[in-house]
Structure 1
């Protein structure tokens, strides 16, 4: 079997598999796996060569990773997480929560979650300063940001303290809020040449590009300035298929028969009270209330599931 390729994550000194395990899909925002089942899935991925996982405080998957680390040697596994911390206090709480719930004494990459531009970075800079201090003390190896905005990537070019970028990259540019994929790639090229590590998110557009998954993966895999690509996976068949694709192997027909290739959708349950709280969690403006009914603009929705976190009645789910 061809070995799953690894790359240096910029100049961080971290060596990561080209395929990153996207942790969002395991948690309550999507499939709601138990920590034991999620941990087993991460272990399966590690045995296939995936040594890099992306998660976030919002995803509630720290206990899944903790289960996996009962088997996976900590020094052979790279963990990236993120939070919405904006102050020293909130950053301290986020780091403490991550370390305690995953039972680790160090986080490899800590990101400011969903940064939009230089203004949001300025508003979160106190948290960034705290993470930098924790890096100096050995509790974090690298700091950075995740973003759906080209403006945040551009702002990071003036900030050497931002070492890692986690941007949306897919063939159609789905989810990019302020431009197109060509513009995003231009700035990522500059960032990578400056030594910043880059691992992409949503290569399948949150599931919207599943029907064209081969072309979508071919596109991101042929980009020279992307160190790793985070892909959400919910079962061992999906892991095996994606590992094979990243290794350049022919797609296994038998595995494909076991995996549903269909467009996922954000589903609003009939008991929705139309309180509007979910709109606060949608930076893509894919939700709106019309005639006292919550509606989804599926052309804008990237199926992140973040809106469901704001729903007091638990009536929003990616299906």
Structure 2
């Protein structure tokens, strides 16, 4: 055999090996993608297991929001959740992502109390996001579970919107476990969005399991419990144990986004270290505490209830300078101006005695400083 023939054989072997390596790497990538994806119940929606929660982007400018939204999309995130209630969040999504509309999934929400408001909100959402349909349209934390024939006309409006092709799937969000359970049992909803983190109760875990049994897409909001959970790796690893849960992470800073993007290729895995973090937090944060949902607002006395009502926890979990400055001393002092109208107490979806919780946190704050 000549040297030339030997050389040809070596080249062919190398090509074959390279091809085998390439195919292997493709298979690894596909397996990785499958691990980082989730199917939302029976909707047929398959998305990256990092959903983008667009409430916080209402606090930043249009161009900054566009940069963050585009970076999220370019990094593989393709589910974006917003709401009519989130001021200009929908407009920012439309501005940033309308040219890739066919490659993403958009979910929004309506707090409408009747059919007329429903249509106003839906048309506004479509216009703001520069689209002619929403993938998921959700009732936004209603005090009851909308159903056909309940007199509100809300569910009938949802069905009509779906028949017209203006929405693809019907969902509901809630902070009340009773309403969420009723929605899951009703068979009327394709997705349910509910607060879910490693601080969840057995009843809340039961809701997730119920949704899996009934093939309802479960969207987890407040996976960081409104900022009380500070270890995102532990939060991610815990939720990853539930193969039917899509967490939506509220993002307004690039550094926050980068953290969750890094988990796409290198997802945190539950281990002893993360388990100890979770157990420690459960001991510290267990029981009744304010989740910071904000449904108690506005306060007629101008109290920043969502933060003030959990100040005892915040001052022990954040740098001291954040909450022990003159600004926050003045904000906490406003608790003394409470007129005891019980607006916050009556609107708390968790049934907390908010005025009593505020007084307790103020006393602890004074002792702490």
Distance 1:191 1:250 in 2: 25
Mapped pair 1:184 → 2:224: no
Partner of 1:317: none
How far off its partner does 1:110 sit? 0.6
**Equivalent of residue 46 in structure 2, options 7, 11, 15:** 15
More strand as a share of residues = 1
Distance 1:205 1:49 in 2: 24
Would the aligned equivalents of 2:53 and 2:80 in 1 still touch at CA under 8 Å? Answer: yes
Determine helix, strand or coil for the equivalent of 2:55: helix
CA deviations on 1:165-208 (whole Å, 9 max, x unpaired) are 101111112xxxxxxx2211223212222121111111110110
How far off its partner does 1:137 sit? 0.9
For residues 220-299 of structure 1, the aligned pairs below 5 Å read: 220-226=239-245, 228-249=246-267, 262=318, 269=331, 279=344, 282-284=348-350, 288=354, 295=358
Largest Rg, 1 or 2: 2
Partner of 1:62: 90
Bigger Cα displacement from structure 2, 42-51 vs 78-87 = 78-87
| TM-score, length of structure 1 as denominator length | 0.74
Structure 2 segments unaligned to the other structure (5+ residues): 1-28, 270-316, 362-369
In the superposition, relative to structure 1, how do residues 124 and 73 fare at CA in structure 2: closer, same or farther (>3 Å)?
farther
| TM-score, length of structure 2 as denominator length | 0.65
Distance 1:107 1:241 in 2: 28
Would the aligned equivalents of 2:115 and 2:152 in 1 still touch at CA under 8 Å? Answer: no
Aligned length: 273
Mapped pair 1:42 → 2:78: no
How far off its partner does 1:86 sit? 2.2
Mapped pair 1:24 → 2:55: yes
How far off its partner does 1:159 sit? 2.2
Would the aligned equivalents of 2:109 and 2:140 in 1 still touch at CA under 8 Å? Answer: yes
Partner of 1:178: none
Partner of 1:85: 112
Distance 1:166 1:209 in 2: 19
**Equivalent of residue 124 in structure 2, options 97, 106, 109:** 97
More helix as a share of residues = 2
**Equivalent of residue 114 in structure 1, options 135, 141, 144:** 141
Bigger RCO of structures 1 and 2 (CA < 8 A, at least 6 apart) = 1
